[in-house]
A and B are shown apart, each in its own frame.
Chain A
Amino acid sequence: MQGIALLRAMLLIRTFEAALTRRRDHGFQLLSEGQEAVAVGLCSVLGARDQLLTSGRSIAPALARGLEPGLVMAELLGKAAGPCRGKGGRGHLAQRSAGFFGAHAVVAGNISIAAGVALAQQQQEPGTIVACLFGDGACGAGALHETLNIAALWKLPLLFVCDNNGYSVSTPRSEALAPESLSDLAAPFGIPAREVDGMDVVAVRDAAQELAERTRSGGGPSFLECRSERFASHSTAVRETRSAEEMRSLRKRCPIAGLAARLEAEGILAASERKRLEQEVERGVEEAIRFAEDAPYPDPSEAVSDVI
């Protein structure tokens, strides 16, 4: 995926999440402002038959994976038109047919699941990979280490992607994890790893491409650490602990502004085209909201459907 498409994809996430949080009924959300390049760079190298599993910070990867914004919004607003019939919400957003096997809201809870999906795909869809996106907050969990071990032993076609934004809610990495470089976590298992600037979508794409190709061609699992910055608090339910000054400083590294500037400098994107692009994305998000608002809620009887 090239420059303008990458920019559009990141703009969509930023615009969508901003529109969502402006609503009174926005609900309990984990957002990706500042981290859009990780989701977009990763998804740009996934094929139609690959699968992506994520943590609860699912909106950015779902949109980057190509899910229709209207369907995502419907799911977030609890409407039956959502891919999970409104029953999963953001924490369990999934559209398997679109290669988005889904989010799981338990921190590190999707990692061994992803390895199982990779085991199945290894047998049933050779040449495909499974990517599992998780945060630095998941790196203290036994589930990660157990899964790294098995993935390496069984040479599973699994791409571990750690979106390291340096914080687990309010806890900085230095207080939660002994290694500074999270890509080092893969080393004991002999899994090749890369660390990349998560604010640079092109760098993320290129690193993901290299590792994905290796994993896709039977090379076993790979590990990509993306160093990103979280531009807001962990979730809509929790306050930010960093200073306003620090937050202002972080925003200077905006992945969207960064790519736009680069494209303009390279003569690929004129300022007027950028404006047009932003307006196009805005309209798309407005359409998504209208679709979701018009869609009906599930019948209360669905509280007990699809259980067993």
Chain B
Amino acid sequence: MSSDAPPSSTKLFFREAIARALREEMSRDERVIVLGQDVAAFGGSYREFVGLYESFGPARVRNTPVAESAMIGIGVGAAAAGLRPLVSITYMDFLMLGLDPLVNYGAKARYKTGGQIEVPLVVKTTAGAKGQGVAHSQCIEAWLMAVPGLKVVAPSNAGDAYGLLKSALLERGPVVYVDHKRLFPTAGEVAAEETPVPIGKAALRRRGDDVTIATFSFMTRIAEQSAERLAAEGISCEIVDLRSLAPLDMATVCQSAGRTRALLTLEEGQLTCGVGAEVIFRARESLANLRTARVGALPAPVSSNPILEAASIPDAARVTDEVRRLLAER
């Protein structure tokens, strides 16, 4: 490159975006530490922590035993007492083991102590189905959205993985950062300058006029594939990547759905009490005359069986069918 101007972005693997956000914050603030299984010399199950142990040492990048409840509790307590920990929970399924300390203490500490104690904790976890079976496939972001005091973010690309994680590490209170197994093989542009992505702000991934697809995480890619197919049929899709599930950016969703008057939500998790249920209900509070639909997993556990997994989770075919059905409604 012959230009003297620094590039505004650089292409990184998804895992590198995560490591970069952590490296920056750990360099800036010695209170930031990483706890989790296989995070130290091994560099993380997805190699997302590579280099951190070598740079920051064993006191700040600690391997933990398989004890998610204690690990999250220790992360909560350490945050409450002045550190800024990131606890890595390799599979979102196992976050369930740590829900008591996360919800009953982490999310409530500031409230129950009348503001004396704050918990600047990030729980980083990976969701999603990728051939690993019923207890290693879940997307349970919706369960967390209902917890007062807890923020939940979910990037769909490397740039947002970096930006959202950075923001999460700078928050006053607890944040669950959820990425996805199928995002790790991807690469994407990441801001060259230190740039947090604001929590509570969705992003427009594609402009369109006929239907708004509100989605997040890996399903954003499914939405994009669906939009390409539908474009060939003359249907123009607008894709809103939520990025932040708690708090939700309903302003961006409603701005879009207010124009298209057709809102489809797309998630990999369950529909009952899911992200889509909340988004659509809230959209209807602001917008009359709105056609709506939800796409999510079938109401069943997600098997490791490739035929059954493929049948269970949404794909572009299912999304395009649902968009056509939605637009055919009066």
Contact = CB atoms under 8 A, between A and B. Distances in A.
B81 interface: yes
B81 A308 contact: no
Nearest to A89: B112
Interface stretch (A33-41, A139-147, A190-198, A223-231): A139-147
Interface stretch (A16-24, A59-67, A78-86, A170-178): A78-86
B170 interface: no
Contacts of A87: 111-114
Interface stretch (B2-10, B13-21, B72-80, B236-244): B72-80
Contacts of B101: 109, 112-113
B80 A308 contact: no
A116 B116 contact: no
B117 A102 contact: yes
A134 interface: no
Given A109-B105, A112-B69, A84 B114 contact: yes
Contact of A115 (B74, B85, B100, B114): B74
A112 B100 CA distance: 11
Contacts, number: 134
Nearest first, the 3 A-B pairs at minimum CB distance are: A116-B77, A112-B73, A85-B114
Contacts of B69: 112, 142-143, 146
Interface of A: 51, 82-88, 92, 94-97, 101-102, 104, 106, 109-121, 123-124, 142-143, 146-147, 149-150, 153-154, 306-308
A150 B67 CA distance: 9
Nearest to A105: B104
A142 B101 CA distance: 13
Interface centre among B59, B105, B148 (most CB of A within 10 A): B105
Contacts of A104: 104-105
B260 interface: no
9 contacts: A83-B113, A87-B113, A88-B113, A94-B117, A116-B81, A119-B81, A149-B65, A154-B62, A307-B149
B110 interface: yes
B268 to A, nearest CB: 26
Nearest to B173: A308
B136 interface: no
A144 B150 CA distance: 25
A146 B67 contact: yes
A84 B113 contact: yes
Nearest to A148: B70
A248 B70 CA distance: 41
Contacts of B70: 112, 115, 143, 146-147, 149-150
B185 interface: no
Interface string B85-121: 1000000000000001100110000111111110000
A220 B74 CA distance: 16
Interface hub of B59, B74, B78, B83 (most chain A Cβ within 10 A): B74
Contacts of A153: 65
A232 to B, nearest CB: 26
